[in-house]
Structure 1
Amino acid sequence: MKKLLCIIVVMISMSALAQRGDKRERIKALKVAFITEQLDLTTEESQVFWPIYNTFEKETNTIRFKEIKDIRKEIRDNLDTMTDTDASTLIKRLNKAENRMHELRLGLSDKLKNVIPAKKIIRLKIAEDDFRRKILNEFKRRKRERP
């Protein structure tokens, strides 16, 4: 019954999001549904899990799509003219951003230990990897089908 309710909520959310046409929001809704199903979260676990996970996602996305994207753009734009000093600075900035993402991942595990069983934390990592793989395969499939 719980899974059916979750699926109904996600379907309604997806149809509303589809009308907006916002691909990132649709993918996020699919990810939430996928993770919820894979982890088999209870109602109580969900109420505590999702705020923690959403904060983690927001912080890592900021690093990934703002900081790292800006660093990579700077590298692409200036690769031919940059000095070794400039390159070293960019490497340090990139490493710092990637380290912060790693620290966030470790912090997520620590926070979730008090919310869900350790086995579900492992399932979360597997579910994230599986979801990423499914999304990439879907993009590849759609690209092949385009004329």
Structure 2
Amino acid sequence: MKATARILIFVILLSPATVIAGTVPEIDVEALFAEKKALVKEAMQLTEKEGAVFWPLYSDYEKIDMDIFKKRSEHIRKYVRERNGLSDKKAALMMKEYLQIEAEALDSKRAMVKKFSDHLPAKKVYQYFVMEELLEAGFFSQIGENLPVIK
């Protein structure tokens, strides 16, 4: 998927060196999501009728997804800042926060899959959510590969 490769290159340029240096870069989330939208448009190849239904739903989902993305990014920044003096108590609290973020993401995804499925063919819904998952996995794998370990 040519579109996925483009966003992964964009993401790779944003993250690894600064994570290695002990910081997580400030990410222009709006620019990242604008690039992602262009990739989705290219990859989905929607008919005019499908597009009329898809894009308003996409906009709704992206607002929620952007908020979750910001929470995940802040959680990673917090990890990088606090990893060296992390107590078991603090680690347990951070794990609870992480699971809350992930539960919110999954709940959001389930709700949006239902909304998309009410208006679009299952094949298109599946294609979109698989692509979402791959883009997200690519981004966070780049950060994860370079995250410093807890000492």
Alignment TM class, shorter chain as reference: 0.5 to 0.7
Greater relative contact order: 1 or 2 (C-alpha under 8 angstroms, separation 6 or more)? 2
Q: Is the 8 A contact 1:63 1:101 kept in 2?
A: yes
The corresponding residue for 2:96 is 92
Q: Percent identity?
A: 22
Deviations 1:30-65 (A, max 9, x none): 22422441xxx332321221111122122112111x
The corresponding residue for 2:49 is 44
Q: From the superposition, tell whether residues 127 and 34 of structure 1 become closer, same or farther in structure 2 (CA, over 3 Å).
A: farther
Residue 74 of structure 2 is aligned to residue 70 of structure 1? yes
Output the CA distance in 1 between the equivalents of 2:61 and 2:47. 20
Q: What code does the residue aligned with 1:33 have?
A: K
The two structures have a TM-score, normalised by structure 2, of 0.60
Q: What code does the residue aligned with 1:87 have?
A: A
Output the CA distance in 1 between the equivalents of 2:61 and 2:34. 19
Q: Is the 8 A contact 1:34 1:127 kept in 2?
A: no
Q: What code does the residue aligned with 2:117 have?
A: K
Q: Which runs of 4+ in 1 moved over 3 A?
A: 126-130
Q: From the superposition, tell whether residues 29 and 101 of structure 1 become closer, same or farther in structure 2 (CA, over 3 Å).
A: closer
Q: Is the 8 A contact 2:113 2:125 kept in 1?
A: yes
Higher gyration radius (CA): 1
- For residue 41 of structure 2, give the secondary structure of its aligned residue in structure 1: helix
The corresponding residue for 2:114 is 110
Output the CA distance in 2 between the equivalents of 1:82 and 1:115. 47
CA shift at 1:123, angstroms? Answer: 2.1
Q: Name which of 66, 69, 82 aligns with 1:61.
A: 66
The alignment yields a C-alpha RMSD, in angstroms, of 2.6
Q: Structure 2: any 5+ residue segments left out of the alignment? A: 1-29, 140-151
Output the CA distance in 1 between the equivalents of 2:101 and 2:125. 24
Q: Name which of 31, 43, 53 aligns with 2:39.
A: 31
Q: Structure 1: any 5+ residue segments left out of the alignment? A: 1-21, 137-147
The alignment covers a number of residue pairs equal to 109
Deviations 1:108-146 (A, max 9, x none): 11001111011221222344467x39x98xxxxxxxxxx
